[in-house]
Amino acid sequence: MREHNATSPGQTILQTGGDYALLDSGDAQKLERLGPYTIVRPAPQAIWRPQLPAAVWQRADAVYVRDSSGGGAWKFTGKVKREFDILYADLAWRIKLTDFGHLGLFPEQLDNWRWLRAVIRARLQATNQRNLHVLNLFAYTGGSTLAAGQAGAHVVHVDAAKGVVDWARRNAALSHLEDRPIRWLVDDALKFVKREARRGSTYQGIILDPPSFGRGPKGEVFKIEDDLLPLLEACRDILAKDALFVLYSCHTPGFTPLTLENQVALLSHKRGGAITSAEMTAVDGQGRALPSGTMARWLAG
């Protein structure tokens, strides 16, 4: 059975919690609060007018401005730390104002993290399992890794960049999860999955959030239009017979919820269960949902 949702399951939830809030959006930008600071970052799909007064936006502590080459830089109106810690979604995060405008936090994943905790805990409680193995590919700063670890899963966290794996481990330590059974690996996603297949390793859950373009630790090139389907086919070979879920999210333009749903079906073919797909959103303080990528989930029946 497949079920397509036109809107995100978490869309009605105001995107706040702990030390983060999406305050407003519009004119292709978003106004966010992180701990003691307010910041403005690009939001290309916010093609509407902001609701808060211009003076509120102008008081932002930092603004990320894109240039004509596709890069960008931060402009600061006061003293702002480039690194600081916040609490969000029952986790602690090291925030970094990176040169490419990312923070290391993706609030649009909030509903996915809640879903991961719920389905993993339900399986463990229903079956009295001690070990439920989850693979997180392109795992970045570890939000899904930590949510799965909180719920009791054994997690393998894979990313191609040593710096972000170290960052994710820092988030685990801040969240008091450093003793959970998490393996932290710097590796190329496709090479790792193929090696796991040769070893006979399997996982009850697979999470992936592939970039449009990326490089592996040895210069391997990942282009989503060329390399995603071989990766999904390789993941099918390591999905356990008693698999519980697949969670696939994407921020590449043109990858709609139905596109992801059809791609996830490559892994779940003949397994039964249900596939759901949706836009991921962050809801601002004015109640408007800001599109922020897409996701599809398969859950065993």
The pLDDT, as a whole number, for residue 187 is: 96
Instruction: Using the predicted structure, report yes or no on whether residue 62 has a pLDDT greater than 90.
Output: yes
Average pLDDT over residues 203-232: 87
The pLDDT, as a whole number, for residue 9 is: 37
Please state the pTM of the whole predicted model: 0.90
Average pLDDT of every residue of the chain = 91
CB-neighbour burial class of residue 191 (10 A; exposed 0-12, middle 13-18, buried 19+): middle
Whether 6 contacts 277, CB under 8 Å? no
Instruction: Identify the H or E element spanning 223.
Output: strand 221-223
Distance (Å, whole) CA 284 – CA 32 = 9
CA angle 168–136–299, rounded 5-degree value:
135
Distance (Å, whole) CA 69 – CA 83 = 26
**10 confidence band (pLDDT: 50, 70, 90):** very low
The pLDDT, as a whole number, for residue 216 is: 73
Alpha helices (runs of H) in 2-74, residue ranges in sequence order: 54-58
The pLDDT, as a whole number, for residue 225 is: 84
pLDDT tens-digit map of 220-259: 777 888 889 999 999 999 999 999 999 999 999 989 999 9
Distance (Å, whole) CA 166 – CA 19 = 22
The pLDDT, as a whole number, for residue 131 is: 85
Whether 294 contacts 250, CB under 8 Å? yes
Determine the 3-state secondary structure of 88 from DSSP: strand
Instruction: Using the predicted structure, report yes or no on whether residue 39 has a pLDDT greater than 70.
Output: yes
Identify the bridge partners of residue 130 per DSSP, sorted by sequence position: none
The pLDDT, as a whole number, for residue 129 is: 73
Tell whether domain 2-8+107-299 is in CATH 3.30.830.10: no
Whether 33 contacts 21, CB under 8 Å? yes
The helix-helix angle for 189-199 and 224-236 (nearest 10°) equals 20
Instruction: Using the predicted structure, report yes or no on whether residue 14 has a pLDDT greater than 70.
Output: no
Q: Which residue has the tokens 């996701």?
A: 295
CATH superfamily for domain 16-96:
Golgi alpha-mannosidase II (2.60.40.1180)
Q: Please list the residue range(s) of the chain that carry CATH number 3.40.50.150.
A: 2-8+107-299
The helix-helix angle for 143-151 and 110-127 (nearest 10°) equals 30
Per-state percent for the chain, helix, strand, coil, to nearest 5: 30, 35, 40
Instruction: Using the predicted structure, report yes or no on whether residue 111 has a pLDDT greater than 90.
Output: yes
Q: Please list the residue range(s) of the chain that carry CATH number 2.60.40.1180.
A: 16-96
Distance (Å, whole) CA 262 – CA 278 = 12
Contacts of 34 (CB under 8 A, 6+ apart): 19, 20, 84, 86, 95, 103, 105
